[in-house]
Chains A and B, each alone.
Chain A
């Protein structure tokens, strides 16, 4: 062979590694990555640390004025400050002036024997405290707290959607940047398009996982701070499954984004070609928000590859998930991801060197160099 460069051509996986390394460096040092990571971490820290304490903070302030026997009765209620006054008239006066949240006076006509006088707002916590409630027996003390469940749906859905859109877009931009600047011609002259695509997907997936792990660490930190309110041991399983399914799901989404980007020749056309994908990655978010209480819908979503990353962890947390379900979801997801990668590879290859107006998926599949 008379034509050879000074060094032998790197192997497929060496090439993949070089491409992936560049993607990671470029991605992790980019402003958008740093900012979105910090903002997301901050939101989760606030949600995990302060939200559960919010109720406590609001309750703390209520003071009621009462006299005589009523005052004695009220003092038995925990978390309630009682200001003892001479008579009911004095209590009423304090309530009217706003000095106390409410005045409680004796009222023989009411089964509780009391009457609440307030300036304007109805103090629901006080009503609850004074109400006569039937005896309650908690049948399943381990059942998830509905508030935490809602937060979890929101959290998993949001992390999935944000990470998929952010990193999907960044892989798309990286593809179209190479097309637009034409460096892709230099690249494909020496490197196979498969190695290029694989490196991009791996690099961006690693960058995405870094972000996810940071967010999960924040959640765990928040849960540790609020150990008594948020059941960390119950969250461990769902979070682990989320991370695993997210990884495969993200690889699938990333390859779709890369393929969609290869259809465009300019950044301006990118929104156009990735639009259908944005709907796809928003699916799990809206799915668990709107159909989160529907068992059948949740089971379907747990097995459907685009939504499983979000639906499976929630079902595990709720205790609705049979043992086989996460594994079945993972198997379906991996199979789908493999098929999508093959398809995306073809579209990417077909679209990579085409210029001009955005191509259709079908055109790129049929295209040849």
Chain B
């Protein structure tokens, strides 16, 4: 397990990471979500050791991460970069060799990855001759070609069409299935929500929430309730709760007491047919929007 622990980072006077802590569990896909400038990339670069933390540390199974462990990571930086004039497969082999993979093995696996990721074009094409989406596929393959023990991917899905997203996810899941921790960032919550096992939400340099999707939703306990019935709901006002919204047969009210809410339901059932009643749950999107402020 990779643990980011109480990490702080300043750029000049700007405090861009404030006591950031979270875990990336082995075998799981962890989504790292936050708006632009929230601190995702800075955090990832600190995990990779490309950037140093001003305070705090990165641990692997409880002990500070070593250079050897970092060298086993697969990394896809936010600003994409491979050699523009080099053949795609040659770059994969080069990067894999730097990680200790023999050239022949790297070539074989590199070609396999490119095919699985759906690269359109020849592996012997130069990077600059490929379309952006295909360059992105090559970039993902570059992060995977040395069979990494952990994956840190910054916005891996941006610029991919839905088919490519699915193909990529499948490849990433296979890596996770080997027991590797996988962290990927995104500012597109819908993608992350669909793909990841765990979520870490970051806003303005602070971790706002972390856990599985249902944990996050459960954490967001709302005291809003809503009632929909065929009769008028104006009477709810007189029962000692705060009405937030009212529209004939629909009312949204706030109470901190479930018994009170149930009393209202009982009252409603005596007045007509209830079509909907319950606690108001917000979507992950709404939670994210509020938290990332």
Binding site for B on A (CB under 8 A): 1-10, 14-15, 18-19, 22, 26, 177-178, 181-192, 353, 368-369
Contacts and interface: CB of A to CB of B under 8 A. Distances in A.
Interface string B1-25: 1100000000000000000000000
Contacts, number: 117
A3 B60 contact: yes
A7 B81 contact: no
Given A8-B100, A9-B100, A183-B83, A369 B71 contact: no
Contact of B79 (A7, A10, A14, A182): A182
Contact of A7 (B80, B95, B99): B99
B82 A5 contact: no
Contacts of A183: 81-83
Contact of A4 (B1, B48, B79, B149): B149
A6 B50 contact: no
B101 A6 contact: yes
A9 B99 contact: yes
Contact of B147 (A6, A188, A353): A6
Interface string B29-51: 00000000000000001001111
- Closest A-B pairs by Cβ, 9 of them: A182-B81, A181-B81, A183-B81, A5-B72, A6-B147, A3-B149, A7-B100, A182-B79, A185-B77
A4 B98 contact: no
A184 B81 contact: yes
B86 A26 contact: yes
A3 B72 contact: yes
A187 B86 CA distance: 16
Contact of B51 (A19, A184, A369): A369
Contacts of B102: 7
A187 B97 CA distance: 11
Given A2-B26, A5-B100, A7-B147, 4 more contacts: A3-B150, A18-B94, A190-B98, A353-B51
B232 to A, nearest CB: 62
Contact of A2 (B50, B61, B100): B61
A7 B109 CA distance: 14
13 contacts: A1-B60, A3-B60, A6-B146, A6-B147, A9-B71, A177-B83, A185-B50, A186-B95, A186-B142, A186-B143, A189-B73, A190-B95, A190-B98
B203 interface: no
A1 B1 CA distance: 10
A5 B149 CA distance: 5
Nearest to B74: A5
Given A3-B2, A5-B149, A191-B98, A186 B68 contact: no
Interface in B162-217: 179-181
A10 B100 contact: yes
Contacts of A19: 98
A213 B150 CA distance: 46
B64 to A, nearest CB: 12
B112 to A, nearest CB: 14
Given A186-B77, A190-B73, A353-B50, A5 B99 contact: yes
Contacts of B82: 181, 183
A31 to B, nearest CB: 11
Interface in B58-91: 60-61, 66-73, 75-77, 79-84, 86
A3 B66 CA distance: 10
